[in-house]
Structures are given as C-alpha cells and as structure tokens.
Structure 1
Amino acid sequence: MSGMTEVSSLTGRLLVATPALADPNFDRAVVLLLDHDEEGSLGVVLNRPTPVDVDDILEGWGDLAGEPGVVFQGGPVSLDSALGVGVVPGGALGEAAPLGWRRVHGAIGLVDLEAPPELLASALGSLRIFAGYAGWGPGQLEEELVDGAWYVVESEPGDVSCPSPERLWREVLRRQRSELAMVATYPDDPSLN
C-alpha cells in the first residue's frame, strides 16, 4: 500500500458522531468540515452553544448572528480564537463572493471577522461564530472513519444556523435516506433499553 493514497475531499460535508464514538468532546457532535485534504482536516462542531453572547466578544457581529445569538464551541482546538461561518444565499450560484467572505462549499463560507460587520450585513443569510475548532492530522480522520466513529452526510446551508442546536444531531440523521434515519431514534443512554 503506498503512502500517497488519494484523499477525496469531504470539505463541506457533515461528520455526524456515531453512538460508538467514545470521545466526550464529540458526543453526538455534528461537525461541518471546512477543510479536508491530505494535509489533514479542520471543522467546527455545529451543535455546542456556549452561554457567551456574540456581542460580548465581537462587537457588531451579534446582530448578524442567528438565534441563539451565542458563541458556539467549534471544537477542542484554539478555544481562544473565533471563527465565523456564514451562509450567503445565492453564493452557490457563482456570483462574486462578497468582500470578507470566502466560499467553503456551496453557499457556506468563512467570514473574515476582522472586516467591518456592515460590509457583510446585506449579503449574509446567516452567521454563526465559533470559538475553537476540531482538527485532524494527515490520515487521522480517515482512520476514524474506518473505525466507524463518524457518519459522513451532505450538509445543508440551514445546518449552520439551526435555531435549536440540541436537535441537530437527530434532525441531520432523520433526513438521511438510509438506515441512518433509524440511528436518530438511538436513546441518549443505551442502558435504558
């Protein structure tokens, strides 16, 4: 087996934690992959709201952040850094990307939080602010996929700004046209079965 296996990019896809995933950081996590190649992977956990208001750490961005207007914990890495993920409706259609926004996948992109918020206000359909991110080294995510730690499914722009993040794990699984829809009914505590 050669060391240079071709990595088909999962950028823009969702990683949905399987009930088998033991890492408490990712219990029932739904991760949006922002970058995935042979160098490794980077994503943000979409369903971990914190009690911190966006405006408390990023003045001016709070008005643009959807409900709940709090910072989300994007993952265990670099918790002191903020990352903005924004959906630009029509951004998928090949229109020029607005200043301060870089397409990741379709209408989903990264927001430059150094830019003035009003620059993006009219273009953004939704915005979510994340503290920290989830990262994997080269080949690490592929190993976890082989081990059955994650389901890989298509993302939808609404996943980024789901107003009830505590339901996202089930909602994403439920919309799958496969046996994954059944996993959505998995009890929070399997010992209750």
Structure 2
Amino acid sequence: MSEIFADRLFNGMEREEPAAGKLLVAAPGMQSTAFSRTVVLLLEHDANTTFGVDLAHRMDIAVANVLPDWVDCISKPQAMYAGGPVSPQSAVGVCVTKPDLDINSRPYFKKLANRLALVDLGAPPSEVKADITGMRMFIGYAEWSPGQLDEEIAAGEWYVAPCLPSDVTAAGSVDIWGDVMRRQAMPLPLFSTFPARLGEN
C-alpha cells in the first residue's frame, strides 16, 4: 500500500527540506496507525535533534485543569493537544504572534516561522498574551533519532510543507490534515479525503 500511496506520489513531487517551522504531513496510506493523518509542526531539526508537535489531535483535557494561568492565551477550543508520545508529562506552547512583532526581540519566544514561535512557559502569561493573537498547548512531543526522519522522508512516509499561523490555531472542527493537503501542489489535493483506515468511507 505504501508503494501506491507514498512512493509514487512522493517521487513525482518537488521536495522541500525539513526545518524548524515546517510541517511534516503524513502520506496517504501511512502504515503506522499512530501517525495516520498526522500533521507535525517541527520545532527543531538538525543533525542531532529532531522533534515537533502534532497539530491534529485534540484531547478531552481542558487547559484550565492543567495550566490555568495560561487559559487567557489559548485559542478556542481551550483544550490540550496530544503533541506526541515522548515525555507525556511535559507541556509545549506554540503561539501566533501579532503581525508587527519582532519575534527575536522577546526573550520568551523562539522563532519558528513567520508569526510562529515556541513559547517559554516560564514567562509571565500576561506578557506573552500582549504579544500574541493565539496559542496552543501540547502534552508531549514527537521525536526522531539522528537520521531517522530523513530516512522516513526518503521512503515517502512524510511530505514537508510550509506552516501557516492558522494551522496552529485552527478550530476544533477543522480537518487540519485535509486542509494542508488541499493547498499543496497536485496530486496531493486529490487525496485530502483519504481515510485514516482504508475500510472507512
């Protein structure tokens, strides 16, 4: 199945290089059910470290029950998101900054892309709130060992795409994977309704 829905599509596409601030979009028909229809925002990628958070899996846990001081910063729905299987006791914050803000001028932000930043959760939430238009809070993250992600991309398991601020703060009803697929070059939009499991319609 991966030969049909991953390798053949991937080999016919112009490839982007993974980097912090880019999206990893799970290929249609990915064999791993844990990552099916997953969209991962890369927070760091270099020769030694690669990790990111899954934007697509909202949890039934309110931010107010875990990190109440941050509730006023969080976009609706104000729920925690499952960032990934690694370090499930840790929280990761990603924000969308105001359009005119110089992200590098704020010590509590690490710039990921245009208007996207990783948030230092040790910062005062009131100061962060003044600089942002929205934020998501994640539990855990996804991580790859050195060279692992490059091998998976070469095998056609992931597509690399730019991230838009709206991907991070999308409403709970939005199919993020389908939305990201629809805005890519052909033929990926044709697969935007591809089910998580082939038996589903």
The TM-score, its normalising length taken from structure 1, stands at 0.88
Aligned twin of 2:74: 65
Pairing partner for 2:163 from 155, 158, 175: 155
Q: Do structure 1's residue 138 and structure 2's residue 146 form an aligned pair?
A: yes
Aligned twin of 2:182: 174
> Counterpart amino acid of 2:91?
A
Aligned twin of 1:74: 83
Aligned twin of 1:21: 30
SS of match in other structure, 2:71: coil
**Whole-Å Cα distance in 1 between the matches of residues 140 and 178 of structure 2?**
23
In structure 2, runs of 5+ residues without a counterpart are 1-16
CA contact (8 A) 1:83 1:130 kept: yes
Q: Which has the higher helix share?
A: 2
Deviation (angstroms), 1:121: 1.1
CA contact (8 A) 1:47 1:165 kept: no
The two structures, once aligned, show a CA RMSD in angstroms of 1.9
| Worse overlay, 69-78 or 178-187 | 178-187
**Whole-Å Cα distance in 2 between the matches of residues 36 and 95 of structure 1?**
19
SS of match in other structure, 2:143: strand
In structure 1, runs of 5+ residues without a counterpart are 1-7
Give the 3 Å change call, closer, same or farther, for CA 96–189 of structure 1 in structure 2: closer
Q: How many residues align?
A: 185
> Counterpart amino acid of 1:17?
A
Identity of matched residues, %: 37
Deviation (angstroms), 1:109: 0.8
Aligned twin of 1:120: 128
The TM-score, its normalising length taken from structure 2, stands at 0.85
**Whole-Å Cα distance in 1 between the matches of residues 24 and 112 of structure 2?**
15
**Whole-Å Cα distance in 2 between the matches of residues 163 and 62 of structure 1?**
16
Deviation (angstroms), 1:96: 4.7
SS of match in other structure, 1:162: coil
